[in-house]
Amino acid sequence: MLPCGVVVAVSLVACATASQALAQNCEARDEPLAFGFYFDFASVSHSENRQQGQPGYNSHRGYEADLVTALEALEDAGLTFDRRAIGYWAEQDPPIWLLSATPEFDVVGGGITIRDDRTRNAAGETAISFTAGHISFRQSLLVRRADAERLSDHASLTSDVKVGVISGTTGEGRLLQLTGYADEDGVLKAGTRIEVVADGTDSYVITPGTQRADLAGRRHLHPPDANSPEVVYLEHERAQLAALADGTIDAIGRGEIGNADAVRESAGLYVLTGVDMAFREVGGFSVDVDNPNLLACLNERIGWLTAAQRIDHPQWRQNSGVFLERAELWNAMLQGLRTDSQLMQNLDVLFAAGEETLRYDATSSDTNVATVSISGRVLTVRVHEDGQGTATITLTAIATDGSAVTFSFDVASSAEPQAFFRGWRWVLATESDS
């Protein structure tokens, strides 16, 4: 009996001799994929040692590091990665997410929010694609405990308040919207003072994906009126925390994950406020737009490891081994399918003659639990998310004279564990195919 919620696609070519399985869209490679990761976003993606050039700089740690390790552990995908740290966000040219379109990297991560405007390069050409989302973010404020009531939300950030952000991030982009600096397109409000004075037109735009070249070196934004705070640009997260500690700034505008980690590590010094419940961001990895097979391979595997994003940072925080557990579960299922000799022998006999002399049919005893189809030389069984119980899958090979051979097996669906086996495919390859 197959476990709940799995989609199984079995090659109808010599199943009994199957010795290797390769995930759909994944390709065997002689060299590891070059994976670039942002070095300073605890606890999502960071270096073991954040001193460039020192041992541990290219040692990946955090949520995304464990996800990538689990990708490598999936035995049928053939994925290996050579991980290389990428320095400060604001120093990257092109931006960090576009580095996967350069010869240096195949895949890039680092808590990068998926945005359509980030897929295009400076010439406006689509350069990268984002994988399926694997982590979610909400923007927030980090303040000193003494200021928790005074700076309880973004509306309380008036002109006498200084807020630290990092340029080019969604933390900056959302802060500017929530505090009245910019509209939803990132157009700065008339009277905003940078190095020049914004005139309220689209000549002065700041979004997490777009900025005028002459705004790239911005260090302060001075508010156009009393209802917006002064915005102070800092190089990285640790500089933000130092500025908050010494009173240079009053708040940090960034994602809830980083701010919540800072609260935990501050021994009561800081408080999380202003969580933006109206807007949820989703983060993914970037891949060169000209590598669609790699994108599809990663999407299929990321979807499995995160249970279609039901496993997110909070679940990882509770159990940092959750992705490896998911990988081990996948490998165990795959091995079970490979070593189920009776299943393999029955399929081998059933499909031995091939479609040239036989036609095939497949039915499910309960389509609310599972549906089945045969297309080309692939048998696909889909166990539905909302189904409950067991369905018997019956396969029939029908000869030209009307005689038939049948074979059946059961699949089961249950509410627990939810989404563990939903939507993903196995394709068995033979020695000759692989």
Domain boundaries of the chain, sorted by first residue: 24-136+282-329, 139-279, 340-429
> How is residue 198 written in tokens?
């914004």
Give the residue from 40, 317, 312, 303 showing the smallest Cα distance to 169.
40
pLDDT of residue 162: 97
pLDDT of residue 425: 36
Question: How much is the mean pLDDT over the chain?
Answer: 82
pLDDT of residue 17: 26
pLDDT of residue 431: 29
pLDDT of residue 394: 83
Strand order across the beta sheet in which 139-144 lies: 220-221, 230-233, 162-165, 251-255, 139-144, 270-273
Choosing among 3.40.50, 3.30.70, 2.40.50, 2.60.40, the CATH entry for 340-429 is 2.60.40
Residue 160 DSSP label: T
Bridge partners, residue 144, by sequence: 270
CATH architecture of structural domain 24-136+282-329: 3-Layer(aba) Sandwich (3.40)
pLDDT of residue 100: 98
Each residue's pLDDT tens digit, 31-84: 999 999 999 999 999 999 999 889 999 999 999 999 999 999 998 788 999 999
pLDDT of residue 11: 38
> How is residue 280 written in tokens?
């949820």
> How is residue 187 written in tokens?
């157009």
Cite the DSSP H helix spans in 191-321. 237-245, 256-265, 292-305, 313-318
Q: In 168-250, where do the E strands start and end?
A: 220-221, 230-233
Does the fold of domain 340-429 match that of domain 139-279?
Answer: no
Flag residues of the chain having pLDDT under 50. 1-22, 414-434
Grouping H, G, I as helix, E, B as strand and the rest as coil, residue 413 is: strand
The CATH classification number of 139-279 equals: 3.40.190.10
